[in-house]
A and B are shown apart, each in its own frame.
Chain A
Amino acid sequence: MEALRNKARELLQSRTVQVVIGYSRGSGGSSRAVFVQAPSQADALVFDDTCRQNLAVYLMKPEVRKLGKAALVATPSALRTILQLAAENQLSDHDLLVLVVDPGGDVVPLATFGAIEARVAALNTDLSADEKEELRKYKALGQEQRRGFWQEHFSRCLKCYACRAACPLCYCSRCTVECNQPQWIPVPAHDLGNLEWNVMRAMHLAGRCVNCGDCSRACPVGIPLYLLNQELISEVFANFEFRSGLAAKAENAMSTFKPNDPEDFIR
């Protein structure tokens, strides 16, 4: 951690960046986002196993972008998020320096998207064995059981949009739920509206989600949203051989096509 703090101090002192977005100690022994703007504040930075929030979400927040060039302490998910945001033309590597803290505590600065791509290439970006097992167990449920499973979960959805707020890839300045001509997604948190909201968000993330899990962690009532996202990650990979967040220049799976995309279900 000392290496991270020193690096932050150095970057701020030299005005290489105007803010270091990292983690600090939070309530209950957790960690939370911190925005270090002065070298004297760098002591607040920590990095350990509690640091899981995908901080890339702040790269899309206007109040943070206004602070100037940022250095971001990136988890593997955040690295992939940055590449996906770049592929969607939302980020330039001129405004961003990525800091990776490796297991030994050393800080690896990544100044270009190319450097981030090289780092991501060494990661396992597939679903983990545990995740695949959980999906497999869920898919062994019968149709009625699956429906009941989601009916129960979605009946508890509050439409607080913590999932959307926590997701770095939900960056639309005017989200589709905020359109009221027509009111496409119902505002009240009734069962039907909750299903429509969660289905829609899952679909809008198809081919984009990097499986950071922040949506599920953010959900106050513990809905396993990650199952929806991981299912679509599997579908997109199985059908289109595409994975998000691997390259700064990539075409979105859902806005491209192959002439020979599978169509055995089409009569």
Chain B
Amino acid sequence: MEIELRSIDREALAKLFAHWRDEGRRIVAPKQLGEKIDFAPVTGLDQVSLDQVQTVQSPKTAVFPRVEELFSYKSRDGQVEIRERDGTGVPRTVIFGLRPCDAAAFASLAAIFNWDSPDSLFSSRLANTVVVGLSCPRADEYCFCTSVGGGPGATAGSDILLTGTGNGTYLAEIVSEKGRQLVEGAGDLFGPALSKEKETFLARVDKAFDRDRIGPALAALFENTAFWAEQSLRCLGCGACAYVCPACACFDIQDEGDVSGKRLRCWDSCGFGLFTLHTSGHNPRPLQSQRWRQRLMHKFAYMPERQQVLGCVGCGRCSRACPVDMNILEHLRGVVEAKP
């Protein structure tokens, strides 16, 4: 579908929020939570925080919840009744104010969740979610979207992408069919495009590395244990990077209950020591350096190979959240520049 250009101002946006509420949609947007800014349910535009470069967490929880019930069961007199989750009953959602990098990450998530068999719960959530992105007027030193095929004004993954053009007005790019339907249902809240100008309102994010070089560089470095040990010595093996990442999709399955209970899916991290521990007691990745290597290999070598999509969108969240400053951009530069 060809991108259609419209415009909207803050006043109309506030009305759009009310319209979404009337439609019974859950609205998820960046909100000030204590000292941090993070995605949370909101009911009005006035609760939304839009000045930050980036939020702490990604909005992936809207389609890949932190804790999700897969099915519940009840047993009585030797009979077990299972109630499976199907795609119905997932909340109709609008994610508002996410950045182009976050929007691009849905493709990475979808590639994993629909890889060899379709994940109906994930797909249902994604189908019921409208993505209204907001392009970036500012970036910081942690951002590297342009090095991984994205950009501060990229439209991939957004149903509508807004770009602030000053004085409370936004250029609205209607990217997808879902976006078009949203505009149609919103009456006259979207006006005609006042100008096509977009570039001048975008941040400048210089390319830091050539992404085509990363895969081969990683492959050449795989056996270089000293390189990985040096890069990862200060890593503490927590899950912060995986959990704030919009493209990380690893999960664990946990059953909770006894005569009645639930099967839950929850986030997991390849950085944890137990991530690859086998029941036999063998662990193919016993060292943190091997787990750090895995993180980069998975995102920049294995996923492009198998799913034809990178597992990283350059949002920089992992670097900002890391307690010990494992700056992924810095490490990727090291990969490209290393002599194998």
Do any CB atoms of chain A lie under 8 A from CB atoms of chain B in the complex?
yes
In the bound complex, residues from chain A placing their C-beta under 8 Å from that of B57 are 158, 220-221
Residue-wise, chain A 110-143 has the 8 Å CB interface mask toward B (1 for contact) of: 0000000000000000000000000000000000
Smallest Cβ-Cβ distance to B273: which chain A residue = A178
B252 at the interface (CB under 8 A from A): yes
Q: Are B142 and A27 in contact (CB under 8 A)?
A: yes
B209 at the interface (CB under 8 A from A): no
Number of B positions contacting A (CB below 8 A) = 42
Please report the C-alpha to C-alpha distance between residue A183 and residue B253 in the assembled complex, in whole angstroms: 13
Which residues of chain A from 147 to 193 have a CB within 8 Å of any chain B CB? 156, 158-162, 164-166, 178, 183, 186-190
Residue-wise, chain B 263-296 has the 8 Å CB interface mask toward A (1 for contact) of: 0101101001010000000000001110000000
A198 at the interface (CB under 8 A from B): no
Q: Are A166 and B236 in contact (CB under 8 A)?
A: yes
Contact partner of B266 among A35, A58, A64, A189, CB < 8 A?
A: A189
Q: Are B238 and A222 in contact (CB under 8 A)?
A: no
Contact partner of B239 among A156, A162, A214, CB < 8 A?
A: A162
B219 at the interface (CB under 8 A from A): no
Please report the C-alpha to C-alpha distance between residue A218 and residue B274 in the assembled complex, in whole angstroms: 21
Residue-wise, chain B 299-331 has the 8 Å CB interface mask toward A (1 for contact) of: 000000000000000000001010111010010
Please report the C-alpha to C-alpha distance between residue A35 and residue B233 in the assembled complex, in whole angstroms: 8
Q: Are B236 and A165 in contact (CB under 8 A)?
A: yes
In the bound complex, residues from chain B placing their C-beta under 8 Å from that of A35 are 233-234
Contact partner of B324 among A33, A183, A186, CB < 8 A?
A: A33
In the complex, identify which listed stretch (B30-38, B105-113, B187-195, B198-206) lies at the interface while the others stay far away: B30-38
Q: Are B266 and A30 in contact (CB under 8 A)?
A: no
Please report the C-alpha to C-alpha distance between residue A222 and residue B35 in the assembled complex, in whole angstroms: 7
Q: Are B287 and A222 in contact (CB under 8 A)?
A: no
B17 at the interface (CB under 8 A from A): no
Residue-wise, chain A 79-93 has the 8 Å CB interface mask toward B (1 for contact) of: 000000000000000
Which residues of chain B from 160 to 214 have a CB within 8 Å of any chain A CB? none
B67 at the interface (CB under 8 A from A): yes
- Counting residue pairs across A and B whose Cβ atoms lie within 8 Å, the total is 109
Q: Are B323 and A63 in contact (CB under 8 A)?
A: no
Contact partner of B67 among A30, A189, A220, CB < 8 A?
A: A189
In the bound complex, residues from chain A placing their C-beta under 8 Å from that of B67 are 188-190
Q: Are A158 and B66 in contact (CB under 8 A)?
A: yes
Q: Are B252 and A187 in contact (CB under 8 A)?
A: yes
Please report the C-alpha to C-alpha distance between residue A162 and residue B26 in the assembled complex, in whole angstroms: 30
Contact partner of A63 among B229, B256, B266, CB < 8 A?
A: B229
Q: Are B239 and A158 in contact (CB under 8 A)?
A: yes
Please report the C-alpha to C-alpha distance between residue A111 and residue B125 in the assembled complex, in whole angstroms: 59
In the bound complex, residues from chain A placing their C-beta under 8 Å from that of B236 are 57, 61, 162, 165-166
Please report the C-alpha to C-alpha distance between residue A164 and residue B271 in the assembled complex, in whole angstroms: 14
B141 at the interface (CB under 8 A from A): yes
Smallest Cβ-Cβ distance to A35: which chain B residue = B233
Please report the C-alpha to C-alpha distance between residue A90 and residue B244 in the assembled complex, in whole angstroms: 33
Q: Are A53 and B324 in contact (CB under 8 A)?
A: yes
Supposing A220-B56, A221-B56, A222-B35 touch, asked if A27 and B319 sit within 8 A by C-beta, the answer is: yes
Q: Are A187 and B324 in contact (CB under 8 A)?
A: no
Supposing A166-B236, A166-B238 touch, asked if A158 and B243 sit within 8 A by C-beta, the answer is: yes
Chain B nearest CB from A154 CB (Å) reads 13
B47 at the interface (CB under 8 A from A): no
Please report the C-alpha to C-alpha distance between residue A221 and residue B239 in the assembled complex, in whole angstroms: 13
B297 at the interface (CB under 8 A from A): no
Q: Are B56 and A161 in contact (CB under 8 A)?
A: no
A201 at the interface (CB under 8 A from B): no
Please report the C-alpha to C-alpha distance between residue A218 and residue B239 in the assembled complex, in whole angstroms: 11
Residue-wise, chain A 208-220 has the 8 Å CB interface mask toward B (1 for contact) of: 0000001001101
Most chain B Cβ neighbours within 10 Å, of A30, A159, A160, A190: A160
In the bound complex, residues from chain A placing their C-beta under 8 Å from that of B142 are 27-28
Smallest Cβ-Cβ distance to B274: which chain A residue = A178
Which residues of chain A from 3 to 57 have a CB within 8 Å of any chain B CB? 26-28, 30, 32-35, 53, 57
Q: Are B324 and A63 in contact (CB under 8 A)?
A: no
Contact partner of B141 among A28, A58, A165, A166, CB < 8 A?
A: A28
Q: Are B35 and A161 in contact (CB under 8 A)?
A: no
In the bound complex, residues from chain A placing their C-beta under 8 Å from that of B256 are 183, 186, 188
Please report the C-alpha to C-alpha distance between residue A54 and residue B88 in the assembled complex, in whole angstroms: 49
Chain A nearest CB from B122 CB (Å) reads 17
In the bound complex, residues from chain B placing their C-beta under 8 Å from that of A218 are 238, 240, 323
Q: Are B267 and A166 in contact (CB under 8 A)?
A: no
Residue-wise, chain B 2-45 has the 8 Å CB interface mask toward A (1 for contact) of: 00000000000000000000000000000001111010000000
Q: Are B269 and A160 in contact (CB under 8 A)?
A: yes
Please report the C-alpha to C-alpha distance between residue A140 and residue B242 in the assembled complex, in whole angstroms: 38
Please report the C-alpha to C-alpha distance between residue A233 and residue B90 in the assembled complex, in whole angstroms: 45
Please report the C-alpha to C-alpha distance between residue A66 and residue B97 in the assembled complex, in whole angstroms: 47
Please report the C-alpha to C-alpha distance between residue A152 and residue B321 in the assembled complex, in whole angstroms: 20
Smallest Cβ-Cβ distance to B229: which chain A residue = A63
Q: Are A160 and B238 in contact (CB under 8 A)?
A: yes
Q: Are B240 and A162 in contact (CB under 8 A)?
A: yes
Q: Are A27 and B327 in contact (CB under 8 A)?
A: yes
Q: Are A30 and B38 in contact (CB under 8 A)?
A: no
Q: Are A63 and B239 in contact (CB under 8 A)?
A: no
Supposing A35-B234, A161-B238, A221-B36 touch, asked if A188 and B266 sit within 8 A by C-beta, the answer is: yes
Q: Are A183 and B239 in contact (CB under 8 A)?
A: no
Shortest Cβ-Cβ A-B pairs, 3 listed: A218-B323, A188-B266, A165-B236
